[in-house]
Amino acid sequence: MNYWYVARPNELFLDIDNAPRSLKHARARLQGAIECGKLNVLNVAVLPSRSENHIHAIITLEESLIDYERYAWEVILHGDIYRACCNIMRTHNDIPAADILISPCWMFRNGSGYARQADDECKCHPKHKASIMETCPAAKRLRGKFRNAGFFGKPSKNPCTIWPEL
């Protein structure tokens, strides 16, 4: 089972790759933001992932932030940059459920510190890449026809002809 969470205005969703290296910096940034009064944090839930060296963190704030502020904080706190850029584009294009976190049910148990009802759920087994998003019932319900909206194209395997190497 996968639980789908749509970020609320007082939640920061961090998708952190290379967790051993990134967590130290993320924690220092968060502590600095707290100490200088930039963020008032109620709770931090760190959730393991199925992938090695990868975690999800959910930071619940006392105050609400506008979407673009949340995305900036997610990047500063070492969340995935590509994910944040897609969230910005989804928000700009009024795509529903712009900022989501998809995790298996076991991540939200065992004292993770995060307890709220999921916004949706699905039984899809593989990771939610484009082909799975196309048929996933939760993706259809939450994002409708925009569930696979692409904004940046795929990286090319061909050499760049417009920007020469230095």
- CA 12 to each of CA 19, 20, 21, 69, 161: distance values in angstroms, whole numbers, following the listed order: 17, 20, 20, 10, 39
Query: So what's the pLDDT on residue 53?
Result: 81
Residue 151 lies in a domain: no
Is residue 47 scored above 90 in pLDDT?
no
Does a structural domain hold residue 118? yes
Partners of 43 in the beta sheet? Answer: 60
pLDDT over 60 (residue 104): yes
Q: Is residue 17 a part of any domain in this protein?
A: yes
- State the CATH number of the domain containing residue 68: 3.30.70.60
Which conformational region is residue 55 in: left (phi greater than 0), alpha (psi within -120 to 50 degrees), or beta?
beta
Domain assignment present for 83? yes
The boundaries of the domain holding residue 18 are 2-145
Q: Classify residue 160: in a domain, yes or no.
A: no
Between 118 and 146, name the one with better pLDDT.
Answer: 146
Residue 105 has pLDDT above 60, yes or no: no
Judge whether 123 lies within some domain. yes
Number of domain units in the chain? 1
The residue among 63, 34, 59 whose CA lies nearest residue 112 is 59
Residue 39 forms part of a structural domain: yes
Q: What is the pLDDT of residue 116?
A: 76
Calpha distance 5→37 (Å, rounded): 27
pLDDT for the residue 153? 86
Q: Is residue 157 part of a domain?
A: no
| Strands, E assignment, the chain | 2-6, 11-17, 41-48, 54-61, 100-104, 120-122
Number of H helices, E strands in the chain: 5, 6
Largest distance between two CA atoms of the chain: 52
Query: d(Cα 157, Cα 147) in Å, to the nearest integer?
Result: 26
